[in-house]
């Protein structure tokens, strides 16, 4: 498999009145052709910023890419010009946003909004682009696509709007789709439908998917490889099987333990476990391991120096000095 | 849509009736007498004056006078000015073109300033351009028109002597020269009104655009690889226009009122100065006529605002 997206050493900082917030602080993420990679972590750990930075969709300023590279098909996007970025957006990398309710422009029909990117990148006529929009709506299982293209976003439900977003992101046949918590704003039943749709699209079109989520359940069902982020850093990276079977980082373990389990709840009287505390301030991150304050395995050593990401078994990397002890 | 329009126009009837009742009552309560001047004129005996009053129905109770006024209005008779004996509708029609020309041009000027400056400033918040535009807008918005009007007269008419400071409707020239004279005497009132309104609207346009520019759907548009210019025009300005149009349309009648001051300063023989002189002379039929025209304008522009609103925003439907 060949790597199409290779993010290495990425640091994205945001300027605030109180100083620079290190939202993403040295992150390495690789995505192979046709692969689904998932980034997990709780709110505020830098997942969305990482994802948006790939297409430079963060506001700069106040955001700034301080260091690192984002290599897309052999070319670094960090120094790319706005015009070069525009040629990549939607055409090569599609983006699905979190909030289907607000991510569509209320004053244009969904057809116009899908057609817009097709016209921009493939130079189709208005007519042909609208036909493509209708095809895309059919592809994402929206009934009566030929008439629905002329409807406005407010005439669609949340799940339907997310289908429209997917149709929009896929309209130009991108090689990679970045889905930023595509199901967070939706009902549970609709969540499953949207994830199934994404998986189906992936099979049909063969694009790679970078799926950002905070739900471990979503990860288990959809991803081949998982990257766990915490406070702007990657703390663990592994194929999905080993990650769930033998999570090495205490944070990953905490995330997995906080998934409600139907099989246990009925028999054993067990409370759902939560990770104590909150994500540390990224304005002045603590020295050493950033998870130390919430970790029950933390020692003086953890607080002294930042743990490096180590590869313990093939493809399974972890940034914890006690990983072997914890796993054993 | 047609049904909606008809219903809106029907609703306008009770509003106009209410407005006219209030106006009439207020005017009846106001002190003063249009025949005061006659009282001081020794050539006119008091009984002639009393006869005049009676013949005009001025001694009748308020409600009788109101119904008399209303029934003649309904027949399309606006009455006669107490002062000049000219029919009120004729007076208004005489003055209206000047007002519409001056105010209309100044509003177009205001929009031509506010839209590009507001949008450009909002797309580069806190840049030098934005700061300068904001400061100027604040200054322009804070200075009352009677002050800037006098300032302009002082500068361009008195010091430099470039422009006339009294608006004349009896220019003798014809053809191009007439247009040139009209242009010269209109330029100051238009500037004063247009810059004031433009300053206020610039601030409004800027904040409306800023509100839209951080919305999620703008990021979506960006993620589609559209050029920045297209995003601004299609996805930002179009959405930001919805509140701006409402404001502009609703402010139109207020602008006619605000123009009264400017018309007075530059002696523009418009509908505003007609109103002022009518009020000073207690000329009830003219006051009623002019204020009634203003009331109709308010209702008309409200309707225009609602229609434009629905046209700009597909989420609104007329039922």
Inter-chain CB proximity A105 and B228 less than 8 Å:
no
Q: Residue A130: what pLDDT?
A: 92
Under DSSP, is residue A247 helix (H, G, I), strand (E, B) or coil? coil
Q: CATH topology for A3-92+174-315? A: Rossmann fold (3.40.50)
From chain A, pick out residues whose CB is under 8 angstroms from the CB of B227.
Answer: 86
Q: What percent of chain B has pLDDT over 90?
A: 16
Encode burial over B31-43: b for 16+ CB neighbours within 10 A, e otherwise.
eeebbeebeeeee
- CA-based nearest residue in chain A for residue B310: A107
Inter-chain CB proximity B221 and A105 less than 8 Å:
yes
pLDDT tens, position by position, A114-146: 999 899 888 888 899 999 999 999 988 889 999
For A103, other C-beta atoms within 10 Å of its C-beta total 27
pLDDT tens, position by position, B240-294: 988 888 888 888 877 777 678 888 888 888 888 888 888 888 888 888 888 888 8
Inter-chain CB proximity A117 and B225 less than 8 Å:
yes
Q: Residue A265: what pLDDT?
A: 55
pTM of the entire predicted model: 0.80
Q: What is the DSSP code (8-state) at residue A153? A: G
Distance from C-alpha of B306 to C-alpha of B316, rounded to nearest angstrom: 10
Q: Residue A215: what pLDDT?
A: 81
- CA-based nearest residue in chain B for residue A154: B315
- Residue A313 forms beta bridges with which residues? A316
Q: Residue B48: what pLDDT?
A: 77
Q: Residue B96: what pLDDT?
A: 84
As a 3-state breakdown, chain A gives helix, strand, coil percent values, each rounded to 5, of 35, 25, 40
| pLDDT exceeds cutoff 90 at B109 | yes
| pLDDT exceeds cutoff 80 at B137 | yes
Q: Residue B198: what pLDDT?
A: 92
pLDDT tens, position by position, B156-189: 888 888 887 777 777 777 788 888 888 888 888 8
Least confidently predicted of B81-85, B89-93, B135-139 = B81-85
Q: How confident is the model at residue B11 (pLDDT cuts 50, 70, 90)?
A: confident
ipTM: 0.85
Mean pLDDT of B225-234: 90
Q: Which of B216, B222, B225 sits opposite A91 (nearest CB)?
A: B225
Encode burial over A47-68: b for 16+ CB neighbours within 10 A, e otherwise.
bbbbbbbbbbbbeeeebebeeb
pLDDT tens, position by position, A225-274: 999 999 888 999 999 888 888 888 989 888 888 877 666 655 566 667 77
| pLDDT exceeds cutoff 70 at B36 | no
From chain B, pick out residues whose CB is under 8 angstroms from the CB of A87.
Answer: 225
For A136, other C-beta atoms within 10 Å of its C-beta total 26
Q: Hey, what are A150's tokens?
A: 């002329």
Q: Is the dihedral of CA A78, A81, A86, A87 positive or negative?
A: negative
Q: What percent of chain B has pLDDT over 70?
A: 96
* Per-residue CA distances from A48 to A23, A56, A269 (Å): 10, 12, 36
Q: Residue B203: what pLDDT?
A: 92
DSSP H helical segments within chain B, as ranges? 2-29, 36-40, 46-55, 62-74, 88-123, 128-142, 145-152, 175-213, 216-223, 228-230, 238-266, 271-280, 284-312
> What mean pLDDT value characterizes chain B?
84
Sheet holding A63-72, edge to edge: A19-32, A3-16, A63-72, A75-76
Q: At CB < 8 A and 24+ separation, what contacts does A80-88 make?
A: A80/A56, A82/B228, A85/A55, A85/A56, A85/B225, A86/B225, A86/B226, A86/B227, A87/A121, A87/B225, A88/A55, A88/B225
- CA-based nearest residue in chain B for residue A114: B224
Smallest CA–CA distance, residue B238 to chain A, in Å, is 8
Q: Hey, what are B11's tokens?
A: 């609703």
Q: Is residue A8 a contact partner of residue A26, using CB atoms and an 8 Å limit?
A: no
Residue A1 Cα to chain centre, angstroms: 21
Inter-chain CB proximity A90 and B217 less than 8 Å:
no
Residues 287-316 of B with CB under 8 A from A: 312-315
The low-confidence residues of chain A, meaning pLDDT below 50, are none
The CA-to-CA distance between both ends of chain B, in Å, stands at: 8
Inter-chain CB proximity B222 and A152 less than 8 Å:
no
Establish if B124 touches chain A: CB-CB under 8 angstroms. no
Inter-chain CB proximity A103 and B239 less than 8 Å:
no
Under DSSP, is residue A147 helix (H, G, I), strand (E, B) or coil? helix
- With both helix axes pointing from N to C terminus, report the angle between B88-123 and B128-142 in degrees, rounded to the nearest 10: 150
Q: Max alpha carbon distance in chain A (Å)?
A: 66
Smallest CA–CA distance, residue B214 to chain A, in Å, is 10
Residue with token string 């009934």: A143
Contacting residues for A199 by C-beta, under 8 A, at least 6 apart = A222
Distance from C-alpha of B254 to C-alpha of A313, rounded to nearest angstrom: 76
Residues 80-119 of A with CB under 8 A from B: 82, 85-91, 94-95, 97, 99, 102-109, 113, 116-117
Distance from C-alpha of B57 to C-alpha of A157, rounded to nearest angstrom: 66
Q: What is the DSSP code (8-state) at residue B235? A: I
Domain coordinates of chain A in residue numbers?
Answer: 3-92+174-315
Q: Residue B65: what pLDDT?
A: 83
Residues 173-192 of B with CB under 8 A from A: none
Q: Is residue A247 a contact partner of residue A256, using CB atoms and an 8 Å limit?
A: yes
> What mean pLDDT value characterizes chain A?
87
Distance from C-alpha of B94 to C-alpha of B105, rounded to nearest angstrom: 18
Q: Residue A149: what pLDDT?
A: 92
Domain coordinates of chain B in residue numbers?
Answer: 95-273
Distance from C-alpha of A58 to C-alpha of A45, rounded to nearest angstrom: 15
Q: Is residue A195 a contact partner of residue A183, using CB atoms and an 8 Å limit?
A: yes
Q: Residue B250: what pLDDT?
A: 80
Contacting residues for B236 by C-beta, under 8 A, at least 6 apart = B119, B123, B209, B212, B213, B218
- Residue A213 forms beta bridges with which residues? A40
Inter-chain CB proximity A105 and B220 less than 8 Å:
yes
Q: CATH topology for B95-273? A: MetI-like fold (1.10.3720)
Inter-chain CB proximity A90 and B219 less than 8 Å:
no
- Residue B87 forms beta bridges with which residues? B80
Establish if A120 touches chain B: CB-CB under 8 angstroms. yes
* Per-residue CA distances from A280 to A276, A288, A323, B176 (Å): 12, 12, 21, 75
Smallest CA–CA distance, residue A169 to chain B, in Å, is 8
- CA-based nearest residue in chain A for residue B125: A61
Which residues of A52-197 form beta strands (DSSP E)?
Answer: 63-72, 75-76, 93-96, 176-180
Q: What is the dihedral of CA A232, A238, A239, A243, to 10 degrees?
A: -100
Residues 206-225 of B with CB under 8 A from A: 215-217, 219-225
Distance from C-alpha of A7 to C-alpha of A26, rounded to nearest angstrom: 10
Which residues of A130-243 form beta strands (DSSP E)?
Answer: 176-180, 208-213, 225-230, 233-239
């Amino acid at each position: 498999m060949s790597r199409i997206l290779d993010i290495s050493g990425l640091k994205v900082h945001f300027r605030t009145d109180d100083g620079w917030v290190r939202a993403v602080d040295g992150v390495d993420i690789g995505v192979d052709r046709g692969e689904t990679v998932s980034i997990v972590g709780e709110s505020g750990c830098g997942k969305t910023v990482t994802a948006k930075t790939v297409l430079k969709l963060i506001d700069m300023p106040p955001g700034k890419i301080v260091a690192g590279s984002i290599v897309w098909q052999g070319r670094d996007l960090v120094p790319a010009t706005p015009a070069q970025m525009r040629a990549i957006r939607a055409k090569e990398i599609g983006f699905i946003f979190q909030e289907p309710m607000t991510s569509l422009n209320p004053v244009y029909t969904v057809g116009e909004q899908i057609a817009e990117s097709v016209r921009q990148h493939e130079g189709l006529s208005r007519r042909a682009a609208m036909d493509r929009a209708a095809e895309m709506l059919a592809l994402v299982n929206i009934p009566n696509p030929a008439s629905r293209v002329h409807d406005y976003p407010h005439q669609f439900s949340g799940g339907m709007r997310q289908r429209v977003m997917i149709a929009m992101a896929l309209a130009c046949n991108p090689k990679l789709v970045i889905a930023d918590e595509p199901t967070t704003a939706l009902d549970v039943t609709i969540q499953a439908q949207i994830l199934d749709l994404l998986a189906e699209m992936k099979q049909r079109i063969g694009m790679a998917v970078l799926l950002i989520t905070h739900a471990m359940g979503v990860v288990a069902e959809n991803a081949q490889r998982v990257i766990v982020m915490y406070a702007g850093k990657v703390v663990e990276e592994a194929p999905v099987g080993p990650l769930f079977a033998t999570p090495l980082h205490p944070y990953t373990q905490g995330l997995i333990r906080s998934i409600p389990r139907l099989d246990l709840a009925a028999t054993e009287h067990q409370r759902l476990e939560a990770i104590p505390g909150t994500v540390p301030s990224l304005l002045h991150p603590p020295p050493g391991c950033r998870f130390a304050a919430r970790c029950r395995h933390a020692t003086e050593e953890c607080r002294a120096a930042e743990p490096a990401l180590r590869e313990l078994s093939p493809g399974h990397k972890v940034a914890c000095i006690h990983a072997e002890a914890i796993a054993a | 849509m047609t049904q909606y329009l008809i219903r809106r126009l029907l609703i306008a009837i009770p509003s106009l009736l209410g407005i006219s009742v209030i106006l009439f009552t207020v005017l009846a309560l106001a002190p003063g007498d249009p025949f005061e001047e006659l009282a001081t004129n020794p050539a006119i005996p008091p009984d002639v004056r009393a006869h005049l009053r009676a013949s005009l129905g001025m001694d009748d109770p308020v409600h009788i006078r109101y119904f008399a006024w209303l029934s003649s209005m309904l027949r399309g008779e606006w009455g006669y000015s107490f002062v000049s004996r000219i029919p009120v509708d004729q007076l208004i029609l005489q003055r209206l073109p000047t007002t519409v020309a001056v105010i209309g041009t100044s509003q177009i000027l205001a929009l031509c300033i506010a839209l590009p400056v507001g949008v450009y400033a909002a797309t580069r918040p806190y840049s030098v351009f934005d700061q300068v535009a904001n400061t100027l807008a604040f200054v322009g918005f804070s200075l009352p028109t009677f002050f800037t009007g006098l300032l302009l007269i002082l500068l361009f008419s008195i010091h430099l002597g470039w422009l006339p400071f009294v608006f004349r409707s009896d220019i003798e020239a014809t053809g191009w020269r007439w247009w040139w004279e009209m242009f010269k005497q209109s330029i100051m009132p238009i500037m004063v009104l247009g810059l004031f309104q433009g300053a206020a609207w610039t601030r409004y346009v800027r904040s409306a655009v800023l509100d839209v520019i951080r919305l999620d759907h703008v990021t979506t548009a960006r993620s589609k690889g559209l050029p920045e210019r297209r995003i601004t025009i299609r996805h930002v300005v179009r959405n930001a226009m919805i509140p701006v149009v409402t404001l502009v349309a609703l402010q139109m009648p207020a602008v006619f009122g605000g123009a009264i001051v400017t018309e007075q300063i530059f002696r523009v023989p418009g509908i505003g100065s007609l109103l002022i002189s009518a009020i000073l002379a207690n000329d009830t039929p003219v006051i009623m006529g002019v204020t009634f025209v203003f009331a109709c304008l308010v209702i008309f522009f409200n309707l225009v605002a609602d229609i434009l609103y629905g046209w700009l925003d597909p989420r609104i439907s007329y039922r």
